[in-house]
Homo-oligomer: A and B are copies of this chain.
Amino acid sequence: MIILHHLRIGRSLFCAWLLEELHLEYEPKEYFRNLKTFRSQEDLKAAHPLGKSPVIEDGSLMLSESSAITTYLIEKYDPENKLHPCRKQINNWAKFTQWLHYPEGSVFAPLLIDMLLQRTNDSSRRLNEFSASEINLHFDYIQEQLGNNNYILGEFTAADIGIAYVVEVANKGKHLAQYPVLLNYLTRCKNRTAFQKAKLRVVE
């Protein structure tokens, strides 16, 4: 039984979504943020030394970093390659890996800057300019990559978990009015049975 250490509010729901896509048994363990600092509290440090989430506990393994969790879960629990290309088709597999690293390697930082700026009265022209131009650059690119496909690599793969997460964050930051293709994509992801099941068990 996998334990999902889940800090509210955070990314763990998207990890639960993957667990549901893989039809795995898991038990969410809920933690709450300090309402003043918005950081996790001491209790989560038993699962992660920095109090970060999600963390999965699978037997003796405690694993953090959302995309590392994805990589591990599909390696161990997707031997039939339902959610990722076969490693032997190495170029397809490499492109999948690129899209797995892309959300946090490139897209999340400008969204985080924007989120922090939206929560304050401070303003910084340079940071605003940086985040606004990067956000447009990346969501244009993601929309172009999607094109007429339902998912980022055509069929649904585990790479969609990370892409949908940054699309969700952009949507919450009110950046998607000009991106109908991405709004439809997000709706399509959230309408998946596995996402719906995850939502019933893991409150964001």
Is A9 at the interface (CB under 8 A from chain B)?
A: no
Is A91 at the interface (CB under 8 A from chain B)?
A: yes
Contact size class for A?
35 or more
A62 to chain B, nearest CB (A): 9
Is A108 at the interface (CB under 8 A from chain B)?
A: yes
Closest chain B residue to A128, Cβ basis = B122
Is A22 at the interface (CB under 8 A from chain B)?
A: no
Are B124 and A94 touching (Cβ within 8 A)?
Answer: no
Is A65 at the interface (CB under 8 A from chain B)?
A: yes
Residues of B within 8 A of A60 (CB): 91
Cα A124 to Cα B113 in complex, Å, equals 11
Is A24 at the interface (CB under 8 A from chain B)?
A: no
**Which residues of A in the span 118-138 have a Cβ within 8 Å of any Cβ on B?**
119-120, 122-127, 130, 137-138
Is A52 at the interface (CB under 8 A from chain B)?
A: yes
Are B130 and A126 touching (Cβ within 8 A)?
Answer: no
A95-129 toward B: CB 8 Å interface, digit per residue (1/0)?
A: 10110111011101100110011011011111100
Cα A50 to Cα B137 in complex, Å, equals 7
Cα A61 to Cα B130 in complex, Å, equals 30
Closest chain B residue to A92, Cβ basis = B61
A76 to chain B, nearest CB (A): 6
